[in-house]
Amino acid sequence: MAPEQYIQELLYRYNCVVVPEFGAFLTQVKSAFIQKSTNTFHPPTKEISFNGQLSTNDGLLVSYMANAQEISYEDMLEKLMETVAVWKKELRDGKRLELAGIGKLWYNREGKIQFRPEDQVNYLTTSFGLASVVAPPVVREVLKEEVEALEEKIPFIITPEERNQGPSLRPLLKYAAVVLLALSAGVTGYRFYEENLDKNQIARTRAQEIVTRNIQEATFFNAKPVELPAVTLPVAKKKKAPAKSNTKMHHIIAGAFRVKANAEKKIRILKAKGYNSAYLGLSTYGLHQVTYGSFEDPQEALAELKDIRQKESPDAWLLSVK
């Protein structure tokens, strides 16, 4: 197998392959790009370059070839030097040295080696299977086609007399068709705006329901209630029906159940544990609420709530109602 074939195999794995006494082939990753002149999309690739100054033997190529051909390192180096001598002679004779899958080399007028890489091989393994794609530009004439379609649908007859009287109505019909298209687009946009407005209103309503539910489940007292000074106002004495008590009750909620039988079962369990459990009634969301107990004193309720959370259930919470 020729040396250039081994060089190709190493270029897939290494960024620099040195040919002793000749030069080094270097690779650099190039991102995907678009060739505008041909409308071609090229995948990421490795660009190959040649540097004649890097000719010191690093052992990579010789060792790889020696292992592949199962000969000694010294014998492989000697054979490679013979090939390099042939390459140099071809270049001195003014010929172009073509290395399959790598590129072409030649001397310019100044006696310096020039290199043109082969663009048919992609040495970037992550781009395996990706090929260049030609995508011709898309010319869109939708509006013009729609105007022409409307012209065909609008019947009109031009008599010889009308033709002689003045300019044709055809340009005016074109403008009218454009205006109709604009109005149609505006109506469609307005309907889309109304639909989005309705969806946003529904989302806000659902969010408000969630906030209300969280407020109901919150602990309303975590500090001593604020005491306001007493205010005495003169009022006329009138006989009135007995007023309802304004005393606020503080209920420690043990749970809320969709089925009332489950709520009654919970009450029996809590009473067996010594709690003054009771059925509180339906919540705003139609759930049957069960309490550990109810208190008029908020501080007493908070103390009991703290004890229940430590011993019984950390999910217990306080509901205060009049």
User: Which pLDDT belongs to residue 221?
Assistant: 42
- Interatomic CA distance for residues 26 and 214, integer angstroms: 66
- pLDDT (mean) for 235-241: 49
- pLDDT (mean) for 172-183: 69
Task: Count other C-beta atoms under 10 Å from residue 277's C-beta.
Answer: 21
Q: At residue 77, does pLDDT exceed 90? A: yes
User: Which pLDDT belongs to residue 121?
Assistant: 79
Confidence of residue 227 (pLDDT cuts 50, 70, 90): very low
Q: How far is CA 125 from CA 8, 43, 161, in A?
A: 13, 12, 76
Q: How far is CA 156 from CA 59, 83, 118, 151, in A?
A: 87, 85, 65, 9
List, edge to edge, every strand of the sheet that includes 45-51.
16-19, 23-30, 45-51
The DSSP 8-state label assigned to residue 208 in this structure reads H
Query: Considering the domain 249-321 in this protein, what is its CATH number?
Result: 3.30.70.1070
Name the more confident of 67 and 173. 67
Spans of all domains in the chain:
3-134, 249-321
Q: At residue 211, does pLDDT exceed 60? A: no
Q: At residue 158, does pLDDT exceed 60? A: no
pLDDT averaged over the chain? Answer: 77
User: Which pLDDT belongs to residue 307?
Assistant: 92
φ, ψ of residue 57 to 5 degrees: the values are -65, 120
Q: Between 142-153 and 170-216, two packed helices, what is the crossing angle to 10 degrees?
A: 120
User: Which pLDDT belongs to residue 44?
Assistant: 83
Contacts of 301 (CB under 8 A, 6+ apart): 221, 250, 252, 295, 318
Contacts of 46 (CB under 8 A, 6+ apart): 11, 27, 28, 29, 30, 122, 123, 124
The DSSP 8-state label assigned to residue 218 in this structure reads S
Model confidence, pTM: 0.41
